[in-house]
Amino acid sequence: MTDLEDRRARGFRAKAALDEFFAPACEGLRGEYLSALTKLAANEPWETAKITKLAVAQRVIDAVEQQLRAAILDGELAAKDLSRAQKIERIPEAKRKALFGIGV
């Protein structure tokens, strides 16, 4: 498997994991943390350490989700590069030399 194929496959796996598992879990956790944060800020605004911990927990969720989205985007870019490379490979060698100056 080439690097492009590996990246494309990793992107597909990341998308499947995000869609099936992480996105629903992240949304549920965000809702719970937001509810807890709202309740805490209304009832115990002096508990800044607790408020900070809830805010950090939300940032961790966002960071994990962003990493998955970055892997998905990288996989999509790799798929496009792979498709382009395959199209170039199908061009006859003489025409490739004329177009690109290469004769692989």
The answer, yes or no, to whether residue 24 has pLDDT greater than 90, is yes
Burial 16-28 (b: 16+ CB within 10 A, else e): eebeeebeeebee
pTM to 2 decimal places: 0.75
Higher pLDDT, 98 or 36: 36
The answer, yes or no, to whether residue 101 has pLDDT greater than 90, is no
Distance in angstroms (rounded) separating the CA atoms of residues 62 and 21: 15
Please compute the mean of the pLDDT values over residues 83-89 and round it to a whole number: 86
Please compute the mean of the pLDDT values over residues 80-103 and round it to a whole number: 81
The pLDDT value given to residue 5 = 92
Q: Which two three-digit tokens encode residue 74?
A: 């990288």
The pLDDT value given to residue 29 = 92
Q: Please give the helix or strand (H or E) that residue 48 lies within, else none.
A: helix 48-90
The pLDDT value given to residue 98 = 78
Mean pLDDT of the chain, nearest integer? 90
